[in-house]
Amino acid sequence: MRGFLASSIGVVTAAALALPVALPTPALAEASQVTPAGSTQSLPLVPLGPSADRTPGVPGMSASPRLPEAQGLAAREVKTFSLVGVVWDDVATQLHGRVQVRTRSAKTSAWSGWQDVETHNSEHAADPDAVESGSGRVRGATAPLWVGESDGVEVRVQAEPAAPSSRAPSRLPTGMRIELIDPGAEVPGAGADGKNGGPVGDDKGDMVAPGLTMEMAESSAANLPHAELGANEIIALDKADSTADAIYASEGALSAAAVPFIGPRPRIVTRKGWGADESLREKGFLYTNTVKAAFVHHSASGNNYACKDAPAVLRSLYRYHVLSSGWRDFGYNFAVDKCGTVYEGRAGGVSNPVLGAHTMGFNADSMGVAVLGTYTSTAPPAAAVEAVARLTAWKLGLFGRDPRAKTTLKSGGGNLYAKGTNVKMNVISGHRDGFATECPGKKLYGKLPTTRTSSAKLQGR
């Protein structure tokens, strides 16, 4: 299936009011990473005072004779952002505690209530021995939370209370920071209307292609011949045309067993289409040998987004994965919004076996699909579930996989299976099947049996 890679690659409460005028603003020494496509404000958390001094009414912040460690950030005015997350120095250190934020709307100046941020403790990540994990840049991180356009923030992080049998106080990870991400509105290298602009050169001044930087051309070329260079989307095809397209693109590399069972290709918005800043990721692509399984995730970033905002959510997640968490690229191979639109995730070509960082221990020979939102107690929209079925019918079909079947994957190390363990699991699995986590949420996980059946039917099985 490596034949799919074109040879041309390389080119507080609702009643709360606005902040006082004289609120603190970030010091110049505090980190800020800005590119044409957005910005990241990185603000250190500090120890909090006694419980009596804290903002009243915050769940989990009551006084205790064994008061656990707490850190946070007092309410302050900041540059506009839309997504938040907390990171810390050591990726191997887990955050056992509660993370809460409240934010001020940039449009209405109203404060939100306190919102929990999921402390998913890095189960969405590269395998322990992967080159990506050993880069020296990877940090521990919570799940990100989409809060919409905001210009004020307050943060509270409290460690879990110490166990009754323990004398040691609970501790939080060192180097904790709140990451405030603005996704930006500009697509790098494109005109104001979102279409291709004029010629763009690389860092040596050489013209690459109309409206494309060298990095954009590299990413886009990975999807040839499914779409032309610089395309914002890969069009949907019916089953017959999907099969013909796959045979042509693979230059005859498809197995005879796979050909009859390639599902109809869904419309896929490319990285250029959702505005990925290709200068953020590491150059080049990483591949695994094949795709034997699809792991379904939720992004745990909340459901407070409109479908028109999904590209901005993706740009924010991308920045959080790369700049805040230290990964080489977007973690998931694909994303699906609540309206059922499918998006290209990690760069390297939608039909190729791109190595992701989505299911620690089982990234090899698999793909990761994240449904944007949180589906622990909220049911996923039918459109999103259907989109997952369509996507897996096509992509798994390219590699001859039956969505109803079982497969065996070798663990790369995690908290459920030791490194080297051969594990039998469903071809379409949930993240929790490979790692002890709530992901993809109880409600989305409950949809997987019907997703397997629907996906197989789309393949003609």
CA torsion, points 19, 22, 25, 29, in degrees to nearest 10?
-160
The pLDDT > 70 percentage for the chain reads: 79
Tokens representing residue 316 in the block? 């924010």
pLDDT of amino acid 32:
64
Cβ contacts of 110 within 8 Å, gap of 6 or more = 14, 16, 17, 18, 104
Cα-Cα-Cα-Cα dihedral sign, residues 222, 347, 234, 402: positive
pLDDT of 52 above 90? no
pLDDT of 62 above 50? no
Strand segments, DSSP code E, in 68-107 are 70-88, 97-105
Q: Which of 108, 84, 92 is nearest to 16 (CA)?
A: 108
**Domain boundaries defined on the chain:** 2-6+192-459, 31-182
Instruction: Report in angstroms the alpha-carbon separations of 223 from 136, 228, 240, 261.
Output: 30, 8, 20, 21
pLDDT tens-digit series, residues 65-99: 456 899 999 999 999 999 999 999 998 888 989 99
What's the full length of the chain, in residues? 461
pLDDT of 31 above 80? no
pLDDT of 61 above 70? no
Strand segments, DSSP code E, in 45-176 are 46-47, 70-88, 97-105, 115-117, 140-141, 145-159
pLDDT of 55 above 70? no
Specify the fold of 2-6+192-459: Lysozyme-like (3.40.80)
pLDDT of 129 above 80? no
How far apart CA 126 and CA 32 sit, in angstroms, is: 26
Residue 408: strand, helix, or coil: strand
Strand bridging mode 70-88 / 145-159: antiparallel
Instruction: Report in angstroms the alpha-carbon separations of 295 from 263, 381, 440.
Output: 18, 18, 9
Banded pLDDT at 186 (limits 50, 70, 90) = low
- For domain 31-182, which CATH number applies: 3.40.50, 2.60.120, 1.10.860, 3.90.1640? 2.60.120
pLDDT tens-digit series, residues 421-444: 999 999 999 999 998 889 999 999
Banded pLDDT at 18 (limits 50, 70, 90) = very low
Bigger pLDDT: 134 vs 271: 271
Count other Cβ atoms within 10 Å, centred on residue 12: 20
Residue 318, H or E segment: helix 310-319
How far apart CA 121 and CA 160 sit, in angstroms, is: 14
Q: What pTM does this model have?
A: 0.87
Bigger pLDDT: 202 vs 418: 418
pLDDT tens-digit series, residues 205-225: 344 677 899 999 999 999 999
Tell the residue number behind the tokens 């804290």, with chain if given.
54
pLDDT of 200 above 80? no
pLDDT tens-digit series, residues 327-383: 999 999 999 999 999 999 999 999 999 999 999 889 999 999 999 999 999 999 999
pLDDT of amino acid 26:
58
**Across the chain, what does the average pLDDT equal?**
85
Query: Position 18: which residue type?
Result: A
Q: Which of 237, 233, 306, 309 is nearest to 271 (CA)?
A: 233
